[in-house]
């Protein structure tokens, strides 16, 4: 071949070869990322037997409720996140009702699927059934349709080694079959997303409870702030991104932006710690020690761990108070009939299954039965609606009453020891998150 022709061939041949390689790579990428997903979607039985009626994220947990009308020859059923190869099992409780099944991942808001534990990847929420067909066991996947008033959800995992996953939960359809896709991928935490919110109670003109020690008067608002700032410092050292409702002696609003009822949900925080100190109407040696106020419909695992660690690290004890007590040191104060009768707004939308304290009830949205839908707005108190009143993606709130400032031995233990209380709370969080 003559040299000029050879060069001419190379000029055409090399770009052509590069083009073919490029197309091959695109095709491979497509196979890897899309076809695998499509193959699993093709496996899903297109006759839909399950409906979702409720979905909510509360703290680090996702909870689902719905109904399942099983095919006749079903032998076993599991609720899983699956891509056809790996399954993440969801807890599942089934109850038979009029020939179909009611399902719930957990009756506790803070149980269900722990979102911190799902490995990165793309999954679909499906029922995985074992069917007996001619004495042969076969696996079938059944999809789920959305009959709830809620849609897609986003969740950012707690910061771990300076990294976060974003979990995108999205409704879609595939060949007219509804699908619920979970996509988990590493994402930098957006500027307005935080791990945990701390709310030092009171502040400004609202000094909270007061106590005296060696003729010095102590204000609850100051003590709350000292513990909160220490707690923020310790948790930040552990790598968490911490939001706080105040860093000085200023008044914090409730339902306005960055308020004590809104900041945790604005920042998609997984937990909210309202830090308080207690007092009793008259000086007493009887009432002292730690009280943790919790939300409705929860397991007390975390509350118990908080008590154990705070008592240990701050060298204190649980309160002997019996009213509202549901377990040693743990309190659930619901509205009483009397509270509801005295409600300023008639007709009241409160009932006795709802928590009395706004800094628990209003923070968990639908999970904690937030009542402030704005009906209080016209009152002289100027309260505006809770913007997260109907939210199904909220923080898990705790109200910590660390001790009685009008009990001398409690106050002695508190003043100057803010770091010990903060350490107890931080250690509890660590222990809870390491629970299997
Ligand atoms: Zn207080």
pLDDT of residue 113: 98
Separation of 198 CA from ligand 1 center, angstroms? 14
Separation of 219 CA from ligand 1 center, angstroms? 10
Terminal alpha carbon distance of the chain: 73
Give the Cα separation of 366 and 390 in Å (integer): 6
**What mean pLDDT is predicted for residues 126-136?**
91
pLDDT of residue 297: 98
Separation of 124 CA from ligand 1 center, angstroms? 45
Least confident among 21-30, 186-195, 353-362 = 21-30
Separation of 399 CA from ligand 1 center, angstroms? 9
| pLDDT of 410 strictly over 80 | yes
pLDDT of residue 284: 57
Instruction: Give the distance, in angstroms, between the CA of residue 275 and the centroid of all CA atoms in the same chain.
Output: 19
**What mean pLDDT is predicted for residues 63-79?**
92
Domain ranges of the chain: 39-186, 196-433
Instruction: Tell me the per-residue pLDDT of 151-188, one tens digit each, with 9 for 90 and over.
Output: 999 999 999 999 999 999 999 999 999 999 999 999 99
pLDDT of residue 31: 65
Separation of 277 CA from ligand 1 center, angstroms? 6
Provide DSSP, 153-169: EEEEPPPBTTB-EEEEE
| pLDDT of 34 strictly over 70 | no
Give the Cα separation of 221 and 243 in Å (integer): 18
pLDDT of residue 13: 83
pLDDT of residue 37: 65
Q: In the chain, count of helices (H) and strands (E)?
A: 9, 22
pLDDT of residue 36: 59
**Sorting pLDDT into bands at 50, 70 and 90, what band is 345?**
confident
Instruction: Tell me the per-residue pLDDT of 294-327, one tens digit each, with 9 for 90 and over.
Output: 999 999 999 999 999 999 999 999 999 999 999 9
CB contact at 8 A, 124 and 50: no
| pLDDT of 355 strictly over 70 | yes
| pLDDT of 427 strictly over 80 | yes
| pLDDT of 357 strictly over 70 | yes
pLDDT of residue 299: 98
Instruction: Tell me the per-residue pLDDT of 3-18, one tens digit each, with 9 for 90 and over.
Output: 666 777 778 888 888 8
**What mean pLDDT is predicted for residues 372-381?**
80
Separation of 208 CA from ligand 1 center, angstroms? 5
Separation of 228 CA from ligand 1 center, angstroms? 13
Separation of 25 CA from ligand 1 center, angstroms? 62
pLDDT of residue 17: 86
Using the CB atoms, write b or e for 238-257: b if 16+ within 10 Å: eebbbbbbbeeeeebebbee
Separation of 218 CA from ligand 1 center, angstroms? 13
Give the Cα separation of 20 and 104 in Å (integer): 52
Mean pLDDT for the chain?
93
pLDDT of residue 156: 98
CB contact at 8 A, 75 and 127: no
Separation of 210 CA from ligand 1 center, angstroms? 10
Separation of 401 CA from ligand 1 center, angstroms? 7
Separation of 57 CA from ligand 1 center, angstroms? 28
Separation of 275 CA from ligand 1 center, angstroms? 8
3-state secondary structure of 311: helix
What CATH superfamily is the domain 196-433? Zn-dependent exopeptidases (3.40.630.40)
Instruction: Tell me the per-residue pLDDT of 73-123, one tens digit each, with 9 for 90 and over.
Output: 889 999 999 998 899 999 999 999 988 999 999 999 999 999 999 999 999
Separation of 291 CA from ligand 1 center, angstroms? 12
């Amino acid at each position: 071949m003559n040299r000029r022709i050879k060069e001419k061939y190379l000029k055409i041949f090399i770009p052509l070869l590069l083009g073919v390689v490029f197309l091959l790579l695109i095709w491979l990428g497509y196979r890897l990322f899309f076809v695998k997903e499509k193959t699993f979607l093709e496996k899903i039985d297109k006759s839909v037997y399950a409906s979702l009626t409720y979905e909510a994220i509360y703290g680090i947990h996702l909870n689902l409720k719905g109904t399942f009308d099983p095919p006749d020859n079903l032998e076993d059923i599991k609720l899983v996140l699956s891509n056809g190869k790996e399954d993440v099992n969801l807890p599942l409780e089934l109850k038979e009702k009029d020939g179909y099944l009611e399902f719930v991942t957990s009756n506790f808001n803070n149980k269900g699927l722990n979102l911190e534990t799902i490995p990165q990847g793309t999954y679909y929420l499906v029922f995985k059934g074992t069917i007996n067909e001619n004495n042969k066991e076969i696996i079938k996947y059944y999809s789920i349709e959305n009959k709830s008033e809620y849609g897609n959800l986003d969740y950012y995992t707690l910061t771990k080694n300076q990294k976060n996953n974003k979990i995108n939960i999205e409704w879609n359809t595939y060949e007219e079959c509804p699908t619920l896709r979970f996509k988990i991928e590493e994402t930098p935490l957006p500027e307005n997303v935080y791990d945990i919110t701390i709310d030092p109670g009171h502040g400004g003109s609202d000094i909270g409870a007061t106590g005296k020690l060696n003729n010095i008067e102590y204000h609850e608002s100051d003590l709350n702030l000292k513990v909160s700032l220490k707690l923020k410092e310790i948790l930040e050292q552990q790598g968490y991104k911490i939001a706080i409702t105040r860093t000085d002696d200023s008044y914090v609003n409730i339902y306005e932006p960055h308020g004590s009822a809104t900041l945790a949900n604005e920042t998609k925080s997984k937990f909210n710690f309202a830090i308080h100190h207690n007092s009793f109407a008259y000086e007493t040696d009887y009432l002292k020690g730690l009280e943790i106020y919790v939300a409705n419909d929860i397991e007390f695992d975390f509350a118990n761990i908080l008590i154990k660690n705070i008592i240990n690290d701050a060298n204190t004890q649980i309160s002997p108070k019996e009213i509202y007590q549901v377990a040693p040191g743990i309190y659930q104060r619901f509205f009483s009939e009397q509270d509801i009768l005295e409600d300023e707004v008639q007709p009241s939308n409160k009932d006795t299954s709802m928590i009395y304290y706004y800094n628990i009830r209003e923070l968990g949205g639908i999970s904690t039965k937030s009542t402030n839908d704005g009906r209080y707005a016209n009152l002289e108190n100027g309260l505006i609606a809770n913007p997260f009143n109907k939210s199904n993606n909220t923080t898990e709130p705790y109200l910590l009453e660390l001790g009685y400032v009008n009990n001398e031995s409690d106050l002695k233990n508190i003043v100057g020891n803010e770091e010990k209380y903060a350490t107890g709370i931080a250690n509890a969080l660590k222990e809870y998150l390491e629970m299997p």
